[in-house]
Every structure is written in C-alpha cells, then in structure tokens.
Structure 1
Amino acid sequence: MANIVNLDRVSKGYGAAGPLLTDVSLGLDDADRIGVVGLNGAGKSTLLRLLTRQEEPDDGRVTHRRDLRVAALPQALQLAPDATVRDVVLGTAWLAEGMGAEHEWAGDAGVRAVLDGLGMPYLGLDAPVGPMSGGERRRVALAALLVRDADLLILDEPTNHLDVGGIDWLARHLLTRRGALVVVTHDRWFLDAVCTTTWEVADQTVRAYEGGFAAWTLARVERERVAAASEARRQNLLRKEIAWLRRGAPARTAKPKFRIDAANALIADVPPPRDTMSLQRLATARLGKQVYDLEHVRLDAGPKEILRDLTWQVGPGDRLAILGRNGAGKTTLLRMLAGVTRPDSGRFVAGTTVRPAFLSQELAELPGQLRVLEAVEEVARRVRLGDREISAAQLAEVFGFDDRRLWTPVVDLSGGERRRLQLLRLLAGEPNVLLLDEPTNDLDTDTLAALEDLLDSWPGVIVVASHDRYLVERVADTVYGMFGDGELVHLPGGVDEYLARAADDGRPVPASGGGPAPAKASGMSAAQVRQARKELARLERQVGRLEQREAELLDQLAANATDYARVAELDAQLKEVRGEREQVEQAWLTLADEIPAG
C-alpha cells in the first residue's frame, strides 16, 4: 500500500465555536476503507473538507500525493436547475471538490447501471434536475462520483435518501471499487459492511480503530472500561486523602504539606461530567387487547394506490418494521395508523386505550419561536420517568439538553438536536403506541444507540418505517414489505428476504435456487429464529445487569478498603457475579452462532 494523504499536526476551529480539531496527525493509504464516526458537531465534515483541501487548517499541514484524483460528495449540493442528469453525471454542471478535469467517464450503460442501483431506474439521462426532490438530486450527484475513476472517494452521509435496497447495492459496489474510501455515515450496518478502519472524531482529536462499527464499539467499551478502572482507583485515593486531611491537627503542620498539595491537585483534576444522552423508559398508559384491526382496507395517496383489500391486525406488544422503496407508501400507512388520515374504504378500528405518537420526518412541526425548555413544557411540565415524576427541565437533561442548551431557540438547534427534541416532545406525552417514520435521520451513532436502548425496553407497540437495517434488526420482531403492488407482505426472513423479493419485483423467494431466507438455510423455522432472537436479547439484558452489579461491588470494595471482613465478603460476591456473567456470555455466544445472519 502507498501513502496518498497526510495530516501533520493539524488544527481547525471556527470563531466563537472554538477549536474542533487540535494537533491531529493521520495518514491515508491507497487501499484504505475508512468510516468516520462521532457526535453531531464533533468535526467529522470539517475533517473531510481538510482531507480534500477544500479548507486549509489553522495550524499544521495537509499533503497529497502528486496527481492525486479526489472525488467528494459534500452534504450540501448546488446544482443548476436547468441542468440534466447527463450534465451532472458527465460533469459539465457539477464537479466534486478536488476532482481535476482529467478523468475517464463510463459510458451511458455504466451510468444507467449506477442509477438503477441507486433506486432511480425510471430516470432518463435527459431529465432536468430542477424539479427533482432533494433526495433525487443527491442520488444523481452520488452517481456522478461512482461512474468516474478516482484515487480517493470521500462521501459525507451517502446513505441519506437511499432505501434498504439502495444501501445494500452501494455497499456491494464500493467493495468492488478500487482506490481509497473515506465515508461519514450514521448507518451502522453500512459501516460494518464496507469499512476496514474506523476513525472516531471526539474531544478535538481523531482516534483510529481497526475494523468497522462492531469492532469500534468493542474497542471503545474496552477503552472506557480501562478508564473507569483508573478513575475508580483515583477516586479511592481522593477519598483517602480527604479523610486524612479531615483528621485535624496533623493536616495543619508543615510536615505533611506535600500530601495536602497532592490532595488539592486531585480535587482540582476532577473531570467535568460528560455531555451524554441517557434515554430511559417512560411510563406508558396500559394497552387493552385491541390495538389496530384492519379489514379489506383500501388506502390511496392521491391517484396512487397504496394498499388494496388489506386485512391486518396489530396487537399489544407487537414490534413491527415496514420496509419499502421511497414512495412505496410507508409514510401514508403510518399516517393512517396515527389517525392523521382515514382509509378510502374498508374497516379500520383503533383500540379505545390506544394513545399513538407519530414521529414524522418533518422537523417543521417543531415550534421554532420557542426555546428548548418551553417546547417541552408545551407538551408536559411534569412527566413520569420510570417510577418517579420529573420536571420538563430534568427530562430535557435526560435527552442531552444541559443547562446551557435549555434556553436555546429551537430554530438555532442543529438537525440532530431538533430530531432529539422532536422525539423528546413525542415521548413526553406518555404514549403506548410509537409510530416512527425514519427515526434515525440526523442522529449520530451514540444517540442511535441510546434510542435503541429505549426501544429495547419499550413496553408498548412499535411500528417503524426505516431504511436503517441495523435499527430494524435490533428493535423489530416482525418485518413487512411494501413493493408498490398494493400489498403488505409478511417477511419471515427479514431484511434479506425483502432484498431478495425487491430484486425479483416483490415475488416470493423460491424454496430452492432463489436465495432462501437465512432462517431456512440454518435449519431453524422463522418462529424459532424469532424466539431465539428474543432469548438473545434477554441474555444481553442479563449481562448488562451483571456488569452493573460488578461495578457496584467494585465501588463498595474501594469504599471499604480498610475493613478486611467486609472486603472478604464483597470479594466473594464479586467472584460469584463474575462467574455468572461468564456463563451468561458463553450462552449468548453459543446462541448467536446458531441464529442465521440477517
């Protein structure tokens, strides 16, 4: 492998916002496939602009190999409204940042294959981009990059506006493409499928990890475990020093001054609390036996038929995912379940105890004239969180809005913050049915993990329409597909069965020779797979509880370090907990090997 880009002690900031990156040194080789992760606002897009030399660093140096060809997809696009698809893709209307004029273009057949893969087979090369939606324009721009040769391809959120099939196609396409790749995305499945290295942007620096999202998550947990152990030792020393200082006269003599200075240094070095978002389950109203009953329902969106003669039932505790291409009617279905619209014919009944909450894709519904706290109090001033009642300000803090952000006008929030506020307001109403339309839009990986942690323990009904494969496979027990033929199809094989059917125009996958669902290939029935996945989730929760108990015992050991009898008792409990955790983890690993992927 040959080195193509270097960042040498690079720093970058923006005025009042302060520094984003400080003293960052990185190297990029010609075969690297790197995923960039980090919180919203941490500096991921800034890092990409530095790599392309679209922006210059405040300090340090960015160097490129001579004649390096760079193609980059930024988050914001400027396309001439009178340009055609051919103009954009062939480069006369738009060129990616950093891409020189010398390049080799694919022929129209190659362009057509890329447009088909990105979910736009209906698009003519002479179609104007002006009337297109933002998602369509972005996919056309992405196609322009994929049909050209480049030594380095840099993509900022390429999976936005792609459905599950488009994301799957893009991953496979990038795996066969030569050259280096750097991609910022919040799609965890895509990171694992494509990337061999992960860069984490946090605390004004960039840390490199080998592997994709799963490997980065494991490495991060280990790093935090080591840091927690070091912090526990430091806190124990701090407690001992403070206790020693409080003994009175000895602390006021000159002889132990060095110990007083050491204790003061420890106190001054106590780190500030991290600005993290910890989502907890909200209390929900009790659901009766009936949630939604549909009989022979027809649902249209203008002249387009969405559902035809649908008979379907949603019951208490159901966790459902709806998959389909953009425009298949997923949002229209959710709007009907939310009571926003009514079916065109047939019988639709919602249970008398149903209290739905609809998370739409639109952020315009947020009250822009209000501040964050006012926007929460508009829904509820006090909310039951678990077994306690808390104020709107406390609830906002749970969702990552600290004292500094409580009085920020909603219009000044970032896209990720507004999405968090939207979810916060929705849950403040204490619903028992969640209807989620693309809930992962604009959320970083940490916020996504927190959202999934909430949904893991949600006791009500969940119906989610999402292109995020990781989310679907994490939170849904049952998957349905919409293929544009007026049907809502149950997919026992999950996302893999959806992809196979979508490639075959929605027809059922044959039992042989047609790519059977993983459930069949493993020898387990679909029902057995679902039950096994529920057991896997139970074991994961049990491991979490045991880890929490282990941490509590370690704290107690530190607090009772001089009580030898108590230490012996706690140590015996700790060994027992660790032994049980190892057994549960082994059971999880064994079961995980038996469950088919997908």
Structure 2
Amino acid sequence: NGAGKTTLLKLILGEVEPDEGTVRRGTRQTVAYFDQLRAQLDPELPLTEVISPGSEYVEIAGERKHVIGYLGDFLFAPQRARSPVKSLSGGERNRLLLARLFARPANVLVLDEPTNDLDIETLDLLEELLAGYDGTLFLVSHDRAFLDNVVTQVIAAEGDGRWGEYAGGYQEWQRVQAERTAERELAREAARRAQPAAAAAAKATPARSNKLSFNEKRELEALPERIAALEEEQATLQARLGDPALYQQAPQDVPQVKARLEAVEGEIEAALARWEVLETRADAG
C-alpha cells in the first residue's frame, strides 16, 4: 500500500505527467479503464443503455450480439436487462461494469482492484474473460490467487522508486525474491568466512617472508582489474536473471546462469581475500 501502483497506471495512461524522465506510448492504443467506468455510471439508465446506448446490439470481437443476450453472459436475467442501474446491488454493479468494459473496442484494459466486492461467480467469470482477452492487460490487485490465475508478468515495487518486471505470476515473483535473498545471504556468509581466513594467513606468514616476490607483486597489481571484471560479469548475470525474457525465451539457460553467478561470486570473495593478504604483506614489507 502506498507504493504508487495507481500513480504508475496513470503515468502509463497519460493521466499524469512524470516529474522527471519521459513516458513513450503507442500511437494506436485504445484504452478501457475499469475505475473510470465506475465513476461514469448513471443510476437512472437501464442496463441495456449502459451497455449499448441507442442500439439493441453490441459488437463483441467482431461478432454482432443482442444486448440482452450479452447481459445474460454476465449473469443478468432477461427481465433485469431493462432495470435501472440504481436497482442493482454492489456486486451486480461490478458485473455491469465488467459487461460495459468488455463491450468497448479496446486493445488495452486497465483494472485497478477489480476483485473488490465481487462474488465468487463474478470472479470466476472475470478470470474466464481475461483468459480469453487478446489485448494488453494492466492489473492492480491484492488478490494473489487471482493474479496467479490471470497474469503472465509481474511489475513489483522494490523501494526507492524502483520497479522490477518478472515473468510469471505472484508465486513466481515470490520464488525469485526468495532465491535472491538466499544468494545475498550466501555472499555475506562467504565474506564473513574470508575475512578471518585472510587475517590468519597474514599473521601466519613469517616476518622474513613478508616481502612479496616478483610474481606476487604482479599478481597484486592485476587483482583490482580482475575483481572489476568479475564484478562486471556479476552485474550482467544478475541483470539476465532479472529479465523476464530469459524465462520466456530461454528457460533452459536459467540453471547455467545461476550456477555461473554463484561461481563468480565465489571468485570475487576469493580474489578480495587474496588481495587483502598480499596488500597486508606489501605494507608490512
């Protein structure tokens, strides 16, 4: 809550302008925004007029359909079709909003907390409609099961104004976060183990051997560049693992990328420990 989900949607839709940077939008976007429709409902209008003003028919996915039959798809009995909006319960209003939403010719749907106040029947209907929708869907929801059933990508707030994009639903995002946490903990543990080992190695070195050999001097000079190269590779691998395209286009590569990242992190820790040992001896000599 308060991370800026609705603000992000409004930036995407062009309803607000960014304080910094730019937003690039497609030129052929036709957007249907669920939250806007809620505010536009006229309580005096009959349901048929809400769905198809001035016409008995509505066009859905290129197919002409009678408005009463269309309302029947949204669980409204024929006798309710000409009732005014004000006669509907909260759940029925939400169902009517969904009917109106999907009756609009749009290639982008925006749903901000659409499952609030939906009964089980309507929730199942919404999931079915979204599964068959061919356009792009932006969905904000706290309903984790609904997200897992509907979405193919997650955009998650990660703090400090940063947002990450992940392939899969909510459970997949949780799995990635758990793996990242475990990897960070392993790296911290490796660093903690390396520090005493480096200190012990420095202490164990006899005073007469503190002076670096020619090869050790060359090794010490090369270590900063090697560490920088390893850290650059580490950043590249982390970026790959955070890119949804990897999981969509080359899922078979994920284990190898993860294994290489773990190996690189181990090499970085070892190089840092070695650098500390050589630097300590060089200073003492």
TM-score, shorter chain, exceeding 0.5: yes
Contact 2:167 2:247 in 1 (8 A): no
Contact 1:376 1:425 in 2 (8 A): yes
Which residue pairs with 2:149 in the alignment? 474
Contact 1:357 1:434 in 2 (8 A): yes
- Aligned partner of 1:355: which letter? T
The higher radius of gyration belongs to 2
Partners of 1:464 and 1:359 in 2: how far apart? Answer: 10
- Aligned partner of 1:455: which letter? L
Matched residue SS, 1:491: strand
- Aligned partner of 1:445: which letter? I
Which residue pairs with 1:353 in the alignment? 28
Are residues 1:509 and 2:184 paired? no
Candidates 53, 56, 60, aligned match of 1:385:
60
Which residue pairs with 1:419 in the alignment? 94
Partners of 1:501 and 1:380 in 2: how far apart? Answer: 50
- Aligned partner of 1:367: which letter? D
Are residues 1:462 and 2:137 paired? yes
Which residue pairs with 1:453 in the alignment? 128
Partners of 1:387 and 1:413 in 2: how far apart? Answer: 29
CA deviation digits over 1:476-532, x for unaligned, max 9? 111111144211112357524655899x9xxx5342658xxxxxxxxxx97686579
Count of residues in correspondence between the two structures = 195
Candidates 300, 306, 331, aligned match of 2:6:
331
The Cα shift of 1:358 comes to 0.9
Bigger share in strand: 1
Seen in structure 2, the aligned counterparts of structure 1 residues 528 and 341 have a Cα distance that, compared at 3 Å, is: closer
Matched residue SS, 2:76: coil
CA deviation digits over 1:56-94, x for unaligned, max 9? xxxxxxxxxxxxxxxxxxxxxxxxxxxxxxxxxxxxxxx
Partners of 1:330 and 1:483 in 2: how far apart? Answer: 12
Partners of 1:494 and 1:403 in 2: how far apart? Answer: 37
Are residues 1:342 and 2:17 paired? yes
Partners of 1:332 and 1:462 in 2: how far apart? Answer: 16
Partners of 2:5 and 2:23 in 1: how far apart? Answer: 17
Matches within 5 A, 1:191-270: none
- Aligned partner of 1:460: which letter? G
- Aligned partner of 1:479: which letter? V
Which residue pairs with 1:407 in the alignment? 82
Matched residue SS, 1:346: coil
CA deviation digits over 1:438-475, x for unaligned, max 9? 11111122222221111112111111111111121112
Which residue pairs with 1:434 in the alignment? 109
CA deviation digits over 1:45-64, x for unaligned, max 9? xxxxxxxxxxxxxxxxxxxx
Partners of 2:21 and 2:144 in 1: how far apart? Answer: 32
Partners of 1:493 and 1:457 in 2: how far apart? Answer: 17
Matched residue SS, 1:509: helix
Partners of 1:382 and 1:509 in 2: how far apart? Answer: 54
- Aligned partner of 2:142: which letter? H
Partners of 1:337 and 1:373 in 2: how far apart? Answer: 31
Contact 1:361 1:439 in 2 (8 A): no
CA RMSD of superposed structures (Å) = 3.4
Seen in structure 2, the aligned counterparts of structure 1 residues 498 and 387 have a Cα distance that, compared at 3 Å, is: closer
Which residue pairs with 1:371 in the alignment? 46
Partners of 2:250 and 2:125 in 1: how far apart? Answer: 23
Q: Which has the higher contact order (CA 8 A, sep 6+)?
A: 2
CA deviation digits over 1:362-384, x for unaligned, max 9? 84432112121121123975322
Contact 1:361 1:437 in 2 (8 A): no
Partners of 1:445 and 1:336 in 2: how far apart? Answer: 32
Partners of 2:109 and 2:53 in 1: how far apart? Answer: 20
Contact 2:43 2:86 in 1 (8 A): yes
Name structure 1 gaps, 5 residues minimum.
Answer: 1-325, 515-524, 534-598
Name structure 2 gaps, 5 residues minimum.
Answer: 187-242, 252-285
Seen in structure 2, the aligned counterparts of structure 1 residues 369 and 496 have a Cα distance that, compared at 3 Å, is: same
